């Protein structure tokens, strides 16, 4: 199993990022998201050629682990965690946005924390055992981010502002490069067929005040190149991706077992960004116990697409927020 590629920011890049954060502070990330992102893209051009090359290589070729870790990212001196998770601002959000500007365009989904292009990920009381980002005390099962959506991100970026108290929580990562050799050819062939369905995440349903399950059906779990297919799966049991027949269900279970065997765990420390290849790896989280004392684990998350135009029809006003039409997504599955 391959560890993620690791980069430590040079002093010059840290200074550049600190200066970039000051410039981005002039643009409101919530109400003027386009201005904010364009400024971040302009500032990314000031990063060192070595750092930009590493980011562009990850965009072009990926990595056998499915992940890229960047250390030494400047962030604010932290106060207690905010009481709400839908209004991210500050140096952390700015630095994150500049670094991922080399990968594509930031965007959001309206039901997920208001559609913000950077989202606070914090444990929330009452949701400890839920299979959503604000859960904590149970494993977050491995999944492709927004596996149900045709507009799912190409990359997911996580910036750690503060780890959990015991430094137990880790981001799990299982790449297609590590899983594919563990699967028999008949299983792979089944996973390439439209013989599966997947449920829309409960966090999206909550965000749209929906209570009934919505399934996207049918989908393929593997798509694209034989040597390195793209993944589309959620291992949340009956609430995730399931087969439409017994053979297909056994194939999902075989892939889940391969993901467990191939899994690596990355425990983020403050000032570290983990960029996940959402096409080539599934990710999750190990459990931790929150204290709700204002000093709990605190991440910032951003979604990146290589082609923002793909979702133009579901982004009102050509903005950066996808407003899902679940019936349309089911039709385009």
**pLDDT confidence bin for 112, thresholds 50/70/90:** confident
Tokens encoding 49: 């050629």
Task: Give the model's pLDDT for residue 246.
Answer: 98
Q: Is the pLDDT of residue 227 over 70?
A: yes
Q: What is the 3-state secondary structure (H, E, C) of 107-176?
A: EEECCCHHHCCCEEECCCCCCCCCCCCCCCCCCEEEECCCCCCCCCCCEEEEEEEECCCCCCCCEEEEEH
- Tell me the average pLDDT of the chain: 91
Residue 184 has pLDDT above 80, yes or no: yes
State the pLDDT at residue 212: 74
What is this structure's pTM? 0.94
What pLDDT does 84 receive?
56
Domain boundaries, the chain: 5-331
How much of the chain exceeds pLDDT 70, in percent?
92
Helix 91-100 and helix 33-44, axial crossing angle in degrees, nearest 10 = 60
What is residue 161's predicted lDDT score, i.e. its pLDDT?
93
Scanning the structure block, which residue is given the tokens 């099962």? 141
pLDDT confidence of residue 309: 96
Cα–Cα dist 299/226, whole Å: 35
Neighbours of 17 (CB within 10 A): 25
- pLDDT, tens only, 288-303: 999 999 899 999 999 9
Residue range 34-39: average pLDDT? 96
pLDDT band at 202, cuts 50/70/90?
Answer: confident
Q: What whole-number distance in Å separates Cα of residue 239 and Cα of residue 140? A: 12
**pLDDT on residue 78:** 62
Let me know: does 212 contact 36? Beta carbons within 8 Å: no
Residue 252 has pLDDT above 70, yes or no: yes
Task: Write down the CATH number for the domain with range 5-331.
Answer: 3.60.130.10
Is the pLDDT at 86 greater than 60? The verdict is: no
**pLDDT value of residue 208:** 67
* Whether residue 90 has pLDDT greater than 90: no
């Amino acid at each position: 199993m391959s560890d993620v590629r690791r980069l430590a920011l040079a002093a010059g890049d840290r200074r550049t990022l600190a200066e970039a954060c000051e410039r981005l502070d002039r643009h409101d990330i919530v109400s003027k998201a386009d201005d904010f992102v364009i400024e971040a893209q302009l500032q990314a051009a000031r990063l060192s050629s070595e750092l930009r090359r590493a980011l562009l290589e990850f965009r072009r070729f990926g990595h056998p682990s499915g992940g890229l870790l960047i250390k030494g990212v400047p962030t604010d001196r932290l106060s207690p965690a905010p009481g709400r998770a839908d209004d991210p601002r500050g140096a952390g959000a700015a630095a994150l946005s500049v670094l991922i500007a080399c990968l594509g365009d930031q965007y959001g989904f309206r039901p997920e924390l208001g559609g913000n292009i950077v989202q606070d990920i914090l444990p929330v009381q009452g949701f400890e055992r839920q299979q959503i980002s604000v859960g904590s005390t149970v494993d977050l099962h491995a999944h492709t981010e927004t596996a149900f959506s045709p507009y799912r991100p190409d990359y997911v970026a996580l910036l750690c502002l503060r780890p959990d108290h015991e430094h137990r929580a880790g981001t799990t990562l299982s790449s297609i490069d590590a899983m594919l050799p563990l699967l028999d050819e008949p299983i792979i062939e089944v996973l390439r067929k439209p013989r599966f369905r997947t449920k829309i995440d409960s966090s999206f349903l909550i965000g749209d005040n929906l209570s009934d399950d919505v399934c996207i059906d049918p989908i393929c779990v593997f798509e694209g190149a034989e040597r390195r297919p793209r993944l589309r799966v959620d291992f949340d049991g009956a609430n995730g991706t399931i087969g439409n027949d017994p053979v297909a269900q056994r194939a999902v279970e075989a892939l889940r077992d391969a993901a467990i065997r191939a899994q690596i765990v990355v425990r983020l420390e403050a000032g570290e960004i983990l960029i996940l290849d959402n096409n080539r790896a599934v990710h999750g989280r190990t459990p931790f116990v929150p204290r709700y004392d204002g000093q709990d684990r605190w991440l910032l998350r951003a979604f990146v697409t290589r082609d923002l135009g793909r979702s133009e029809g579901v982004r009102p006003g050509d903005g950066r927020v996808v407003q899902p039409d679940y019936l349309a997504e089911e039709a385009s599955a």
